[in-house]
Structure 1
Amino acid sequence: MRSKLRLDSRWLLPFAAAPLLGATPPQGVDVFVTVSNMRSDKGLVSACMAHLKADFPDCRGPGGQDLSVPADKAGRFAFRNVAPGRYAIALLHDENANGKIDKALMIPTEGFGFSRDAPVRMGPPPFSAAAFEVAERDVSQPIRMRYIL
């Protein structure tokens, strides 16, 4: 003899009513970035925190968060309410605040840095070299700014 399981939707009522009763949905954690080795406090520090490999290092797609911080206040800043997952951060010290990385003969003349101090060879590091995990607790990422010229 087969018995059919019949779902009674009344058991969902407490869950559906939770937002109405003041319950708040879970929030993400904060990712704190500490920047060292800045050569000046001029301009802006542009930061990209990418969740997808395709969005790293410049946050062109929907899987990234970007923000700009005045260079004189860029010693420590945070990405807020970050969902759990794998992320990588890229920084640019845009000293003249023109919104792009300036180059001389294809070599950056402004500073840059990456999470996990990912090594730079001929261009930015791969996402995997800079990636770190975000879980249930706030995360700190120290990033050393580098200047070639």
Structure 2
Amino acid sequence: MGAKLSGPSGGKFAADQNAEINVTPFVDVMLVLLIIFMVAAPLATVSVPVDLPPAVAPPSPNPPTPIFISIQESGDVYIGDRLVGIDELGSNLTAQVGRRDPANERIFIRADKKTRYGAFMEVMNTLQDNGFYSVALIGQDTST
């Protein structure tokens, strides 16, 4: 009268006989989700007819590519990936900015934490002498 649940005889409830995954519940859940999304998608659209006026604002121009100045520990100065001398920094930046106003141009400075303060101030003074007054300092993001 009693059922044998496990053992060497491999009865009705042996683990090797029930080795396949039953996908029927998975298919049922997926069909229910499909029906829910099919019913909810039309409700998410706006059905109020509105005659919108045309936009008259001119499209805004793309912002210029940012200019990065990097200062290494040794005092080497880079504009982007290009090594420049401190005496060439102003003329290279002016050429890169072109016809735009240097006073409105933002310059991003990345400096090694072991950079001498004097090398950093040379770069800042050169920027100021050439009319670049908007400077942003970049630091390491430690929020993660």
Higher RCO, 1 or 2 (CA under 8 Å, sep at least 6)? 1
Which of these two proteins has the greater Rg computed from alpha carbons? 2
Q: Which is helix-richer, 1 or 2? A: 2
TM-score if structure 2 supplies the norm length? 0.21
Q: Which is strand-richer, 1 or 2? A: 1
TM-score if structure 1 supplies the norm length? 0.21
